[in-house]
């Protein structure tokens, strides 16, 4: 049985996490837009955006590490 090291799943986990932040942003914008404005909680949009930005950076680093390991 071939057991993978945790680092081998780094890219897949980062992609999944970034996708979750994107889904959260879409759900907030579509279904909870009025509630967020009414309660002055628009900062959730920024939190989702920051999660996606950090996720994209994580994907960049994971791809870079995977390419370095292949050489």
**Element at 56 (helix H, strand E):** helix 43-70
Which pLDDT score, from 0 to 100, does residue 32 have? 97
Torsion of CA 22, 24, 30, 32, to 10 degrees: -150
Which pLDDT score, from 0 to 100, does residue 22 have? 98
pLDDT digits (tens, 9 = 90+) for 8-46: 899 999 999 999 999 999 999 999 999 999 999 999 999
Would the pLDDT of 4 be above 80?
Answer: no
**Predicted TM-score (pTM) above 0.75:** yes
Hey, where are the domains in the chain? 6-70
Helix axes 10-31, 43-70, angle to 10 degrees: 160
Are the C-beta atoms of residues 44 and 28 closer than 8 Å to each other? yes
Which pLDDT score, from 0 to 100, does residue 36 have? 96
């Amino acid at each position: 049985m071939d057991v993978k090291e945790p680092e081998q799943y780094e890219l897949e986990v980062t992609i999944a996490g970034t996708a979750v932040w994107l889904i959260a942003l879409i759900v907030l914008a579509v279904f909870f837009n009025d509630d967020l404005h009414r309660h002055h909680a628009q900062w959730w949009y920024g939190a989702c955006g920051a999660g996606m930005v950090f996720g994209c950076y994580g994907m960049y680093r994971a791809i870079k590490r995977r390419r370095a390991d292949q050489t």
